[in-house]
Chains A and B, each alone.
Chain A
Amino acid sequence: MSHIHLPDGVLPVSWWLLAYVAAFIWLYLALRQAESEKVRRKLPFLAAMSTLMLLTMSVPLGPLPVHLNLTVLTGIIVGPWLGFVAVFVVNIMLSLLGHGGLTAVGMNTLVTGLEVVLGWWLYHHLFKTWRLSWRSLGATGMALLLTSALALSLISLSTGVISLWHAHSHEELGVEQAAALGNSFQFLGLSGVMALVFILACGLVTEAIATWGIVSYLQKVRPELLMEELEP
């Protein structure tokens, strides 16, 4: 789900308002960290990563309904605080272009921002002893797995999909109708939950490999970008 930008009208009002409040609190904390002149000089990095994310998030990958996010790479390059600012900016820009709703900017930013922070932490702390490119592969894969699971649960709860599924498959609907409900979402011959899991898995693997490939290149050309901590 981290690769699916929620459009307007999908989330209940209370959920997207709450997500906005949480995102603004996080943004306020991030900006407090970024007040110093040292971080102000990192504005070009921030803008470059935002533009790169804007480009990659706008290009669907062939027949798959996913796109590259490069959120973990952004976290690695600019750090967790400025990385959150970058994803907020990208989500605003994308929502103005109809990709992800304006009311869902809070929720979309929280999910992608969590990817930034988790990816940064895994890269710089948990996998510290690994080679740089493998670190990025592991950090991206694990960060996306965790955030996708969390986002899927949150969104299913907020939209009532889980309760609808549960209630109808046990009580009001018969077995055939419940099966039809589960199989109503089809993609590439797969149905129901399997199709959604397949799409998410494709997004996760593609993102992890892409981050690994880009980091392998950066390691040869500008290794200091991957080592330097840009936070104050």
Chain B
Amino acid sequence: MRLAQLDSLAVKRHSFLHSWPTGPKLVATMILLAGIVAASSLRQGALLLGFLLLILFSARLPLWLFSFILYPAFFSLPFALAQLPTSPGQAIMILCKAASAALLLIILVASTPFPQLFATMARVLPRLVIDVLFFSYRLFFISLRALENLLSSLRQRGTFDRRNWGWSSWVTLQALGHLMINMIATSQRLEQNYRLRGYQAGVYYGAMDYRWRVADGLLLALLLAGVGGVLWFG
């Protein structure tokens, strides 16, 4: 998983998309997602996908982001193939929708740091959910080093040798158990550290307020009109 690279992209890159505040960006994502889900013809799907590609290239985001659309495209394959003999167009639409929606969300994540996303999501989701999201995010990066060390030591001991796959699988499962215990211990330490700093609940509950600008409203209205136009005339 390339979560670390995605996070780095969101924090270190600079583009018009990165500098757009999270709130309006999230609303824009919802408008585009609604358009993708509502698209009913190949032309509509292609226009929306083209628009996403335009955003991707103009924000100078790397091409490896396309690798993220393979999973949803693959998982939508059974549904697309079931439609193929009767309606090939519909089958392509299913693939196109799944890929476009995944690309849209990847563009959002690659241009917005996760903590900012969580802070905005805290306005609609319960506090405990946001806390778990934030802790899981922190823990993921803290555990990455432990995972790398574990994998190296397993490789050095010949764990991934194909000749003895039964033993290899057994050791890998034991290593997963070890990683789990390690994660729980790290998570407990993390929570203790937060408690020492006065944390009770709702890490991002008091996230700073953003004042919406007229330009944000205009951009969103333009986007809404664009997506509506594609769905109406496309």
Contacts and interface: CB of A to CB of B under 8 A. Distances in A.
A135 interface: no
Given A7-B101, A97-B105, A159-B79, A89 B132 contact: yes
A47 B139 contact: yes
A227 interface: no
Interface in A86-104: 86, 88-90, 92-93, 95-103
Contacts of B181: 218, 221-222, 225
Given A10-B79, A85-B128, A210-B173, A102 B101 contact: yes
Nearest to A86: B132
In this complex, the member of B68, B109, B173, B180 whose beta carbon has the largest number of chain A beta carbons within 10 angstroms is B180
Given A88-B129, A98-B103, A168-B86, A185 B81 contact: yes
Interface in B71-92: 71-79, 81-86
B176 A97 contact: no
A153 interface: no
Interface string A205-232: 0000110011111100110010000000
Contacts of A145: none
Interface stretch (B54-62, B185-193, B213-221): B185-193
Given A97-B1, A164-B82, A9 B184 contact: no
Contact of B75 (A7, A40, A103): A7
A48 B180 contact: yes
A122 interface: no
Contacts of B96: 9
Interface residues of B, number: 68
Interface in B136-175: 136-137, 139-140, 143, 147, 169-170, 173-174
A13 interface: yes
Contacts of A102: 33, 101, 105
Contacts of A96: 105, 108-109, 117
Given A7-B98, A47-B187, A98 B72 contact: yes
Contact of A10 (B74, B76, B106, B183): B76
A184 B86 CA distance: 11
B184 A93 contact: no
A40 B202 CA distance: 11
B36 interface: yes
A85 B130 CA distance: 11
Contacts of B135: 43-44, 46-47, 50
Interface in B186-219: 186-188, 190-191, 201
Interface in A162-201: 164-165, 168, 173, 177, 180-181, 184-185, 196
A86 B129 CA distance: 8
A205 B143 CA distance: 28
B177 A217 contact: yes
Question: Secondary structure of the B side of the interface?
Answer: helix
Interface residues of A, number: 68
A99 B147 CA distance: 22
A87 to B, nearest CB: 11
In this complex, the member of A27, A92, A96 whose beta carbon has the largest number of chain B beta carbons within 10 angstroms is A96
A4 interface: yes
Nearest to B189: A44
A8 B179 contact: no
A164 B181 CA distance: 48
B4 interface: no
A89 B177 contact: no
A98 B1 contact: no
A8 B3 contact: no
Interface stretch (A53-61, A113-121, A124-132): A53-61
Given A184-B85, A185-B81, 9 more contacts: A43-B131, A46-B132, A88-B129, A89-B132, A89-B136, A97-B3, A97-B109, A159-B79, A185-B77
10 contacts: A7-B73, A31-B126, A58-B1, A65-B75, A88-B129, A93-B137, A96-B105, A185-B78, A213-B173, A216-B173
* Closest 7 pairs between A and B when the two form their complex, measured CB to CB: A9-B97, A213-B173, A98-B102, A217-B177, A8-B101, A47-B135, A7-B98
